[in-house]
Structure 1
């Protein structure tokens, strides 16, 4: 082994630049290791429930500022835009948060053509926004009124998406809710304050309304599966809300990676991250979608596999065996950082990348 001596000549009282750099690097590396090790130990000792959605009540006022830089660096806004532009007809956005998709909606129906040149109706006839956090829903409503002051077919509900969602044409302001300035309504269909009889009456009314019209042409959710206690049941429920013939469920989510080393990092810090930010960032989104039984029209992944996009539909002819469990071969497009895309078939690679 060759040893090379390098003499750093300095004046008395001076410290060479390489020495300073080496000291800083070693100090910073030690700091990172100690901090990471301590954080992992703290995270593993935390007792955090599966349902961490209540964290957003507290973070709502600063949520946009907290995620803005990260989303800009990762170009999440562009991915939101590409997804939301597919929305058409009567639209339901669940887990709408503070309305970070708001600016990308094409409101108002118009005639157009699809990619095959066939005539179709484009744009959104109506939009219904739902989120469990009243604080976030109010921020979203205020954004909407500023962006679209003349669009009247919009409603905002502070409720669980698993609860009955009143169709827009039947929407009324319920007990304990506030009415906006003519362009939309804000309600709370399952957290109304008042006597028990009034609350039961409102729930019965909502159930009756959903029976009258319980489907949407498009259902959208972005960055929401990470906060739910039972994401598989949740997706199955969304499948019952979408129009059976041509309706689509549009998902943009984040979760596990292609790489085991990154998944280990996500796992080690999952509890601490969920407790602070209301997000279980180590969930296998592909497996959740597979178990939901929905038909996968398209899937893409970015950022080492941690960002997931799905176009889903109801699966035709339920009850016909394995294909209805989401195990049929589907087309998956995986985009790399350089924008190149490669096509694979079925679920190849997803099972191997879990850890």
Structure 2
């Protein structure tokens, strides 16, 4: 793990104790509904990249074969406790999204939710998702991105260093553009809130 990735990982270790509390206001809005909608689209053998404290665990059907990874051991510890409480049979592994240990074409579906704001090298992470997802497989992403509205986008750029230094998350990532740079073509984008929170659906074509 390089120095920059290690620095971000330590920030998430540090914030893990209060992460769910800080995110609670957003979860009470529409995020719960959006998570449910996104997870309904998953099928087969599923990989969740950036499982964090396990916010999505409650939404997974019992019969879905799910593996979740995260680079923060302390965030993952929270997720393991939730999985046990929910009696969910989900495999949770500490792993860097930028360098996964899985073989090529391992998963039928890959899911991320508000993760690619935090992956230090997003293109590298997206290329890894493309690699481990089967040809013709699904990639479902619910991500917040930089607004292309002039004033709002500029404000996000101004406040981004504060967000990164305190929380480890970039608020001005252009994730759809990054997907294209990573080699994805078949991309469907739906705006969920303004042009900031998006549901991204991809057919993995290699």
Q: CA deviation at 1:295?
A: 3.1
Q: Deviations over 1:205-226 (max 9, x none)?
A: xxxxx37xx5101111111111
* Matching residue of 2:69: 130
* Matching residue of 2:192: 302
> Structure 2: how far apart are the matches of 1:289 and 1:162?
14
Do the aligned partners of 1:259 and 1:304 also contact (CA within 8 Å) in 2? no
Task: State the SS of the aligned residue for 1:137.
Answer: helix
* Matching residue of 1:52: 8
- The one of 42, 46, 51 equivalent to 1:87 is 42
Matched, 1:77 2:32: yes
Do the aligned partners of 1:93 and 1:127 also contact (CA within 8 Å) in 2? yes
* Matching residue of 1:145: 84
> Structure 2: how far apart are the matches of 1:137 and 1:242?
22
Do the aligned partners of 2:100 and 2:128 also contact (CA within 8 Å) in 1? no
- The one of 85, 88, 97 equivalent to 1:161 is 97
Q: Deviations over 1:250-297 (max 9, x none)?
A: 111111113110011111111011111110101112211221221334
Q: CA deviation at 1:301?
A: 1.4
Range moving further from structure 2, 260-269 or 296-305 = 296-305
* Matching residue of 1:334: none
Q: CA deviation at 1:244?
A: 1.0
Once the two structures are superposed, the pairs formed by residues 1-355 of structure 1 within 5 Å of their partners are: 52-73=8-29, 75-108=30-63, 124=64, 126-148=65-87, 151=89, 154-165=90-101, 210=103, 214-245=105-136, 247-316=137-206
Consecutive unaligned residues of structure 1, counting only runs of 5 or more, are 1-48, 109-123, 167-209, 317-355
Structure 1 residues 298 and 107: alpha-carbon distance in aligned structure 2, compared to 1, 3 A threshold = farther
Do the aligned partners of 2:107 and 2:133 also contact (CA within 8 Å) in 1? yes
TM-score, normalised to structure 2, is: 0.90
Higher relative contact order (Cα pairs below 8 Å, separated by 6+ residues): 2
Consecutive unaligned residues of structure 2, counting only runs of 5 or more, are none
Do the aligned partners of 2:71 and 2:95 also contact (CA within 8 Å) in 1? yes
Give the paired residue count.
202
> Structure 1: how far apart are the matches of 2:100 and 2:25?
35
> Structure 1: how far apart are the matches of 2:114 and 2:38?
13
> Structure 1: how far apart are the matches of 2:72 and 2:156?
26
Runs of 4+ in 1 over 6 A off after TM superposition: none
Task: State the SS of the aligned residue for 2:18.
Answer: helix
> Structure 2: how far apart are the matches of 1:53 and 1:252?
21
Note the aligned Cα RMSD (angstroms). Answer: 1.8
